[in-house]
């Protein structure tokens, strides 16, 4: 399988310097030699309505919705801001864990540093989990992610985010969630979000046809056994019903020939329906490594392709 290697320009971010903050810049030696193309924090703040950040910050934990009887952490998100001036493009990270475990903080440090290197904010999202005593079942997980996207679109600007530059990234069950909210517009619109504002989707190693996934307890617990419910939760079925998604897709997968072929079939479906999708073959990585290697300095399979894709989207 041909690896995707994109050579695209790096995302430029104008930072804030100590000299930029001097009130007497006309007499400052550093200010007198500063390039005229540099945007001062004062100018940038007036132009964008956002203050400058000298250093990265976060996490700032916020509630994106409240649900009766649900532990607040499960409907919260963490915002990590990069240094710089003005609103930052947004990478929404959705963790995996079989819809039954995991947390927005798991393995996040490396991904935060990676997002910062792109000049982007990372927003890591929790959602309700299917546990034995939770009563949580599809579409609860998808409704939560949709509510988080709606919150970012409606409130993100006040936190220094740019909701018009929004990319969804998820691994495993999280890959399913980012794919389904981008292919089933009703999830987002019902939550009060605008599907057209989701620019791009990065789905890391998941089967997009739940009906063809192994019939195991994990699927039955999270989605039940009704074939129509399972079909409706499948991103490929939603494309067949709704047509091409407005968001561009990057799919990364690995493993045996049939698994890679399934991912290629989804990419082909998006493209033949009139959308845009690309495939990265991350073999010989394991399922977990497709996530844990994202942002790693020595990764040559996933990070370069995802970085180029995100920069092109934003």
More confident residue, 30 or 275: 275
Reading the block at residue 188, the tokens are 């987002």
- pLDDT of 307 above 50: yes
Average pLDDT rounded to a whole number, residues 83-89: 94
More confident residue, 47 or 110: 110
Beta carbons within 8 Å of 287's beta carbon, 6+ residues apart: 172, 205, 254, 255
More confident residue, 207 or 71: 71
pLDDT confidence band for 174 (50 / 70 / 90)? very high
Backbone angles phi, psi at 282, to 5 degrees: -95, 15
More confident residue, 218 or 290: 290
Q: How many residues does the chain have?
A: 314
What are the domain boundaries of the chain?
A: 14-52, 53-313
| Least trusted range by pLDDT, from 6-20, 56-70, 125-139 | 6-20
Backbone angles phi, psi at 198, to 5 degrees: -90, 105
pLDDT of residue 212: 75
Lookup result for tokens 């949580």: 136
Mean pLDDT in the chain? 86
pLDDT confidence band for 19 (50 / 70 / 90)? very low
More confident residue, 51 or 147: 147
Average pLDDT rounded to a whole number, residues 85-109: 97
pLDDT in tens, 231-249: 999 999 999 999 999 999 9
CATH architecture of 53-313: 3-Layer(aba) Sandwich (3.40)
C-beta separation of 145 from 178 below 8 A = yes
Looking at 156-274, list the stretches that DSSP marks H as alpha helix, in order from N- to C-terminal side. Answer: 173-183, 185-191, 217-223, 227-232, 235-242, 257-272
- pLDDT of 44 above 50: no
- pLDDT of 176 above 60: yes
pLDDT of residue 215: 64
- pLDDT of 2 above 90: no
């Amino acid at each position: 399988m041909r690896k995707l290697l994109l050579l695209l320009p790096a995302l430029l971010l104008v930072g804030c310097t100590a000299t930029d903050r001097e009130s007497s810049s006309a007499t400052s030696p550093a200010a007198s030699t500063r390039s005229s193309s540099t945007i001062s924090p004062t100018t940038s703040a007036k132009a964008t309505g956002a203050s400058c950040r000298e250093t990265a910050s976060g996490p700032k934990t916020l509630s994106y919705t409240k649900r009766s009887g649900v532990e607040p952490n499960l409907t919260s998100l963490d915002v990590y801001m990069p240094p710089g001036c003005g609103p930052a493009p947004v990478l929404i990270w959705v963790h995996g864990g079989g819809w039954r475990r995991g947390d927005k903080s798991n393995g996040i440090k490396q991904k935060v540093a990676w997002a910062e290197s792109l000049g982007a904010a990372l927003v890591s999202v929790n959602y309700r989990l299917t546990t034995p005593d939770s009563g949580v079942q599809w579409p609860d997980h998808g409704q939560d992610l949709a509510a988080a996207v709606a919150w970012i679109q409606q409130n993100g600007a006040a936190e220094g985010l740019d909701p018009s530059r929004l990319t969804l990234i998820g691994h495993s069950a999280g890959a399913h969630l980012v794919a389904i909210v981008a292919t089933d517009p009703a999830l987002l619109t019902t939550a009060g979000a605008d599907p057209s504002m989701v620019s791009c989707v990065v789905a890391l190693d998941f089967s997009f046809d739940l009906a063809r996934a192994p019939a195991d307890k994990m699927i039955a617990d999270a989605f039940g056994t009704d074939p129509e419910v399972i079909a409706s939760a499948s991103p490929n079925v939603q494309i067949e019903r709704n047509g091409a998604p407005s968001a561009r897709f990057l799919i990364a997968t690995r493993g045996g020939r049939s698994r890679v072929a399934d991912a290629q079939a989804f990419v082909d479906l998006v493209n033949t329906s009139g959308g845009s999708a690309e495939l990265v073959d991350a073999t010989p990585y394991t399922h977990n490594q497709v996530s844990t290697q994202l942002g790693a300095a020595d990764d040559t399979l996933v990070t370069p392709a995802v970085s180029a894709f995100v920069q092109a989207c934003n």
